[in-house]
């Protein structure tokens, strides 16, 4: 399955930090560093908002609300996948 590693990192992030909106998740993913070089050259994790939302629509995530101020959805992990 494509983006399985990114999905697992998002899942871990939400477990540790609680519900987050889509922009916060995108910012978290764009700050990953390459373990070997230490640079932010790992472009696999820098995804567009559209791709990120498609990942979040998978079975282990659930939309728990909508942030009217920023016009973004708020996501968390389903109970059976914790």
Q: Looking at the whole model, is its pTM more than 0.85?
A: no
Q: Quick one: tokens of 32?
A: 């990953």
Place of tokens 């992990």: 77
* Cβ(15)–Cβ(76) below 8 Å: no
Q: What is the pLDDT of residues 23-54, one digit of tens each?
A: 999 888 887 766 666 666 556 677 788 888 88
* Cβ(75)–Cβ(37) below 8 Å: no
Enumerate domains of the chain plus CATH numbers. Answer: 4-81 (1.10.10.10)
Q: What is the pLDDT of residues 72-81, one digit of tens each?
A: 999 999 988 7
CA distance 76 to 14: 6
């Amino acid at each position: 399955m494509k983006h399985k590693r990114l999905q697992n990192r998002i899942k871990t992030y939400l477990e540790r930090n609680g519900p987050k909106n889509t922009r916060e998740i995108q910012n978290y993913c764009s700050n990953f560093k390459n373990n070997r070089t230490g640079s932010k050259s790992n472009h696999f994790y820098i995804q567009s908002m559209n791709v990120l939302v498609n990942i979040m629509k998978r079975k282990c995530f659930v939309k728990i609300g909508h942030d009217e101020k920023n016009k973004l959805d708020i996501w968390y992990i389903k109970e059976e996948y914790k």
